Structure formats: structure tokens, C-alpha cells
């Protein structure tokens, strides 16, 4: 005995017009995008190569301020006055406005006032990433 399937009204009212519209839109999209890729390949360029180029962003080096037991500031092994330290930090901040870091290393015999002075100079010029440590002589 064969099984009879009743057709419902839902299948009879199914419209494929929106499906055809979507297929045509996809077809147009792929035709247009493939044309653009062909135009990019048509122009044969011989681009220059650079061997001595530097990256666009250079890693800033950590600026170290050493403070001896008498409270004198040393940057790069040279004695600096507080005004010179401020100028050096301003220049470093101008070169690396967001990433400049400072390490303040104070001698254990030095007073915390000189370390606090170095920290206030950092804040004054806009460098907020600094660390302060005390070391043995």
C-alpha cells in the first residue's frame, strides 16, 4: 500500500524570489571584487629596498639617575646639577612622550630628600614611570 503525502499550503506558498535576489547580489559582489584585484595586479612596480632603515618606533632606553652619599646627581657617569637633570629629563620626555622610564638609585647613606627631589623633577617634566631604590655603598 503506497503512502500518500498531503501537500500543505505552506509549501505551495513558498516564494523563491528573495533567494534569487540574494544569489544575484552575491554574483555581482564577487564579479566587482575580482575586477579590483585584477587592476591591482596589472601595474607592475619595482619597489625600492632599504637595508639601513630603522623601525618607526624606537625602544626608549631606561634613564638612570644615581645619587651618591653626599646627595649629588649622576647621569651617564657624569655629575649633574638639579637644573641639568631637569633639562635631560625634559629632552628624554620630548623624545619618548609615552614610554620614557627613569630609575632613581640612591646611596644608602644619602638622604631621602635628594631621592624625593629627583622624583619631583620627574613629575614636573611629565615622566610618571619611575622607580626609586636605595643601594649599599
Residue 135 makes CB contacts below 8 A (sequence gap 6+) with 105, 106, 107, 108
Q: How far apart are CA 21 and CA 126, in angstroms?
A: 60
Q: How far apart are CA 65 and CA 114, in angstroms?
A: 11
Query: Is residue 74 a contact partner of residue 80, using CB atoms and an 8 Å limit?
Result: yes
Per DSSP, the three-state class of 133 is: strand
Residue that has been written with the C-alpha cell 644615581 in this structure: 66
Q: How far apart are CA 102 and CA 58, in angstroms?
A: 17
Q: How far apart are CA 40 and CA 31, in angstroms?
A: 15
pLDDT at 13 over 80: no
pTM above 0.85, yes or no: no
Topology of the domain comprising 63-135: Nucleotidyltransferase; domain 5 (3.30.420)
Helical pair 82-95 and 112-125, crossing angle rounded to 10 deg: 40
pLDDT band of residue 85 (cuts 50, 70, 90) is very high
- Top pLDDT among 39 and 99 is at 99
Domains in the chain: boundaries: 12-42, 63-135
Mean local confidence (pLDDT), 67-74 = 88
Query: Is residue 102 a contact partner of residue 65, using CB atoms and an 8 Å limit?
Result: yes
Where helices occur in 43-101 by DSSP H, the ranges are 82-95
State the chain's mean pLDDT as an integer: 79
pLDDT in tens, 27-53: 998 888 776 655 555 545 555 666 666
pLDDT band of residue 9 (cuts 50, 70, 90) is low
Amino acid at each position: 500500500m503506497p503512502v500518500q503525502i498531503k501537500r500543505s499550503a505552506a509549501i505551495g506558498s513558498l516564494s523563491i524570489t528573495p533567494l534569487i535576489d540574494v544569489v544575484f547580489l552575491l554574483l555581482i559582489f564577487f564579479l566587482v571584487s575580482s575586477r579590483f584585484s585584477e587592476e591591482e595586479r596589472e601595474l607592475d612596480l619595482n619597489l625600492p629596498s632599504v637595508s639601513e632603515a630603522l623601525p618607526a618606533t624606537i625602544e626608549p632606553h631606561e634613564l638612570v639617575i644615581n645619587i651618591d652619599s653626599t646627595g649629588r646627581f649622576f647621569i651617564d657617569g657624569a655629575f649633574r646639577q638639579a637644573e641639568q637633570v631637569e633639562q635631560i629629563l625634559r629632552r628624554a620626555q620630548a623624545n619618548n612622550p609615552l614610554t620614557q622610564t627613569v630609575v632613581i638609585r640612591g646611596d644608602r647613606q644619602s638622604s631621602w630628600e635628594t631621592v624625593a627631589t629627583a622624583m619631583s623633577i620627574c613629575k614636573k617634566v611629565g615622566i610618571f614611570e619611575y622607580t626609586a631604590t636605595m643601594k649599599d655603598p
